[in-house]
Amino acid sequence: GKIWELADPVVSPAYTKGLEGQPNEVKLKYLADNDFAHLSGQALKDAISDYIRNKDQDLTGKMVSQGTTPRRLTDLIGSLCDLTSGSGDKGTPIVLVQGYFDNYTK
């Protein structure tokens, strides 16, 4: 008894409206291996940063976003917390997530 899971019934039991929605992310490995395979080092980082700054507003169905599971932000952050803290046994600490929204291009 007294075991709870972070994913039941809502992954993030407390969050602000700013966490509603889904991310519009690109897969860095895809860009590095395909679009910018001829680059390396700082040139590669600059090219990827420029791509991210100018990406489409909706990448749904595009190869560059394949592998980035289209899940709600609260689900992604909740999964990160669950993986970090272990199971939801009584006594699991609160997990503070920082830097999740850091921008690669800055």
- H helices of the chain, in order, are 28-30, 41-53, 73-85
Span 22-68, pLDDT tens digits:
778 888 888 999 999 999 999 999 999 999 999 998 887 888 887 65
Helix (H) or strand (E) holding 71: none
Task: Write the DSSP assignment of 3-25 as a string of letters.
Answer: ---TTSS-S-SS--GGG-S----
- 3 residue type, one letter: I
Provide the pLDDT for residue 77: 79
Provide the pLDDT for residue 74: 81
Provide the pLDDT for residue 53: 92
pLDDT at 103 over 70: yes
This prediction's pTM? 0.61
